[in-house]
Structure 1
Amino acid sequence: MKRICVIGGSRYVGKLLVERLLSAGHQVTVLNRGSARPPAGAEHVVVDRDDEAALGAALGSRTFDVVVDQVCYTPVQAAIAVRVFTGRADRYVMTSTIEVYDPAGAALPQVAPGTPVEEANVDPASWLVSLDLPWQHDAYRDAHYAEGKRQAEAVFARADRLTFAGVRSAHVLGGGAREFTGRLAHYVERITRGREVLVHAHALPTVFIHYQELAQVLLWAAGGDFTGAVNACSDVPLDVYDIAAAVAARSGRAPVFRSVPAGEEASPFSFDRHYAMSNARAKALGFTFSRTCDWLPGAVTEALTGAPSPTI
């Protein structure tokens, strides 16, 4: 049994993670601002993680084997967490994102077209951290989501007394009405109503992960001893046409596509650049991934009906 603190943990992936941690026999403390209660059996600490003094006071003398941080978006939040949890925790797992590989506004190493990106392509140990940017403003944080995640990883990677692992999640799907991004619902709504789906004529593939599988990756990472970043994505990249085809197959309605020029905004998951990660490191460390094409039809059905997800 481990003592595990989950920051976030009351909705979607975080809620499922807490449920699975409890089922595995761990002692779980959920820390959030109180907008929703965690699953039964978890201790609930209500506090604003951005208030360093309040966070330290709320934790009191509690110590943890592992912290799983579901909602760290900026280097400022990471720096507060390092100061507060150093001496209170041994291992820190941060949920990161495929967006760290987005080259927009970032000087990232180039990879050959069609090559899945590996973790070393973004090395947090060498990434510049700027704590004085206006990270406290929602609009700035949202506009610089990828950079915020890169810098947050960098802060944790340089912490001397926390063992750090960053789980870089692919695009998350599944959960029906609970799916927080609404991106799959975008296709369901447009295709079932005969509305145009905006796509790049030569859309390139990306990678996905079911929310239940992401919860399982985080459970695995919490119990592991590896350090550094790991990419978390199901096998088999898909492009926007594959997503639309899956919706068409389940809804019985053919998609209506309209092409947009390269560089212009299109529907979610339509990319004019190759946007896929390699999951080879996680596999080498012992995690076995599903195949996107095996669970996507069920996820589409969930989006069409709002029905609960079967366990994958």
Structure 2
Amino acid sequence: MNVLLIGGTGNISAASVRLALQRGHQVTLLNRGQRPLADYEIHGAESLIADIHDEAATLAALGERTFDVVANFIAFHPADIERDIRLFQGRCAQYIFISSASAYQKPLAQAVVTESTPLKNPYWDYSRAKIACEEACIRAYRQNDFPVTIVRPSLTYDTVIPTAIGGWNDYTIIQRMRQRRPVVVHGDGSSLWTMTHATDFAKGFVGLLCNQQAIGEAFHITSDELLTWNQIYDAVGIAAGTGPVEKVHIPSSFIAKVVPTKKGSLLGDKAVSTIFDNSKIKRIVPDYQATTPFQRGIQRTLAWFEAKPKRMQTNQACHQLLDSIINAYKPAYDAARPS
């Protein structure tokens, strides 16, 4: 199978590229070529160097080529979808748009999320843009037979440290834990969440390639493991060698007021207990099973960071942000405590 992935070296996509290659697919990556493929253990993929946002340059790079599947991991706005329709209508038998499970209804009306759960997020611009992208995809499918499949990852990790506040692309939260400094946990830490390792996501994603039952459909691909945020932070601490970490529990609404940029990712996503029903992806991809528990997966993530010192970058501004949230909340916490 001839597959074109737009992006391909990201936290989610690199594992999907590796698995597609392992399963014998011919994989071409279209990106700006700024990340060495060897850094992501990608060997055997062809590279087309172009910025997808430059439509003329992309057309020149594509030439007359066609593909069985085109998957875009870096489309975030409806204009991106409209451009891809222009580029790939008639060039592929399947177009996969990577959306987001944060597009699902907030707050949830039912505890368990299925693919039929409504899409509505009044808190996060990112999620609303993904919803608009999905609408553009479905409109093209219905009106012009554009062969779309929509995939909704939830919090998927591999080369990021997936804490809700203070983590992600750098090593700061690990440094903080090892220094025995407190971390901020939203709410009381008891809400349920699902962490999915990128190698598990890849199993579902690759199983959808050229799968005729997937055309016109949407799927989320997540683990079935449920953890509280307290357990998640402690698992990161255990991987860091510190054991359970000192947590300061602060209401999500308070954090959002102190740091407005966190409103979307907290109130529009992580503050809400979310349980995913993965029956649909398992029905269409019968061998799909997430097999990486978070405690093992986060150890692999830390090993990836620590394999190269340049990945272990820390950010003093992140420490200052966490300290500022804690310091802002302390008077309110002290005033609310029984005397």
How far off its partner does 1:177 sit? 8.1
Q: 2:298 aligns to what? A: 300
CA distance in 2, matches of 1:254, 1:22: 38
Relative to 1, partners in 2 of residues 1:50 and 1:299: Cα closer, same or farther, differing over 3 Å?
same
**1:202-247: CA deviation from partner (whole Å, max 9, x where unpaired):** 6411212101112222211114221321111101221211112323
Consecutive unaligned residues in structure 1, runs of 5 or more? 128-142
How far off its partner does 1:63 sit? 0.5
Q: 1:221 aligns to what? A: 208
Equivalent in 119, 122, 130 of residue 149 of structure 1: 130
C-alpha contact 2:93 2:210 (8 A) present in aligned 1: no
1:264 aligned onto 2:267:
no
Q: Tell me which amino acid in the other structure corresponds to 2:183.
A: V
**1:21-62: CA deviation from partner (whole Å, max 9, x where unpaired):** 222222222111221354443222111212223322321210
Q: 1:77 aligns to what? A: 80
How far off its partner does 1:187 sit? 4.9
Q: 2:70 aligns to what? A: 67
Q: 1:238 aligns to what? A: 227
CA distance in 2, matches of 1:28, 1:117: 32
1:206 aligned onto 2:193:
yes
Q: How does 1:36-185 map to 2 (within 5 A)?
A: 36-38=35-37, 39-101=42-104, 103=106, 110-112=108-110, 115-122=111-118, 144-159=125-140, 160-175=144-159, 182=168
Q: 2:318 aligns to what? A: none
CA distance in 1, matches of 2:25, 2:9: 17
Relative to 1, partners in 2 of residues 1:63 and 1:272: Cα closer, same or farther, differing over 3 Å?
closer
Q: Given the two structures, how large is their TM-score scaled by the length of structure 2?
A: 0.72
3-state secondary structure, aligned to 1:121? coil
C-alpha contact 1:192 1:253 (8 A) present in aligned 2: no
How far off its partner does 1:94 sit? 1.7
Relative to 1, partners in 2 of residues 1:302 and 1:25: Cα closer, same or farther, differing over 3 Å?
closer
Q: Tell me which amino acid in the other structure corresponds to 2:299.
A: T
C-alpha contact 1:72 1:95 (8 A) present in aligned 2: yes
Equivalent in 192, 196, 200 of residue 182 of structure 2: 196
3-state secondary structure, aligned to 2:276? coil
Q: Given the two structures, how large is their TM-score scaled by the length of structure 1?
A: 0.78
**1:139-173: CA deviation from partner (whole Å, max 9, x where unpaired):** xxxx7211121111221122223221111112112
Q: Tell me which amino acid in the other structure corresponds to 2:126.
A: Y
CA distance in 1, matches of 2:171, 2:196: 16
CA distance in 2, matches of 1:183, 1:52: 29
Q: Tell me which amino acid in the other structure corresponds to 2:59.
A: G
CA distance in 2, matches of 1:202, 1:42: 42
Q: Tell me which amino acid in the other structure corresponds to 1:119.
A: E
Relative to 1, partners in 2 of residues 1:100 and 1:184: Cα closer, same or farther, differing over 3 Å?
farther
C-alpha contact 2:6 2:74 (8 A) present in aligned 1: yes
How far off its partner does 1:307 sit? 5.7
3-state secondary structure, aligned to 1:244? helix
Relative to 1, partners in 2 of residues 1:85 and 1:36: Cα closer, same or farther, differing over 3 Å?
same
C-alpha contact 2:189 2:228 (8 A) present in aligned 1: no
Relative to 1, partners in 2 of residues 1:284 and 1:176: Cα closer, same or farther, differing over 3 Å?
same
Relative to 1, partners in 2 of residues 1:252 and 1:275: Cα closer, same or farther, differing over 3 Å?
same
> Which structure shows the higher helix fraction?
2
Consecutive unaligned residues in structure 2, runs of 5 or more? 257-261, 308-339
CA distance in 2, matches of 1:81, 1:65: 15
CA distance in 1, matches of 2:221, 2:117: 15
Q: Which has the larger radius of gyration?
A: 2
CA distance in 2, matches of 1:259, 1:40: 44
CA distance in 1, matches of 2:252, 2:119: 29
Q: 1:140 aligns to what? A: none
Deviates more, 1:191-200 or 1:63-72: 191-200
Relative to 1, partners in 2 of residues 1:238 and 1:20: Cα closer, same or farther, differing over 3 Å?
same
Relative to 1, partners in 2 of residues 1:17 and 1:264: Cα closer, same or farther, differing over 3 Å?
same
C-alpha contact 1:31 1:46 (8 A) present in aligned 2: yes
CA distance in 1, matches of 2:61, 2:88: 12
CA distance in 1, matches of 2:283, 2:72: 24
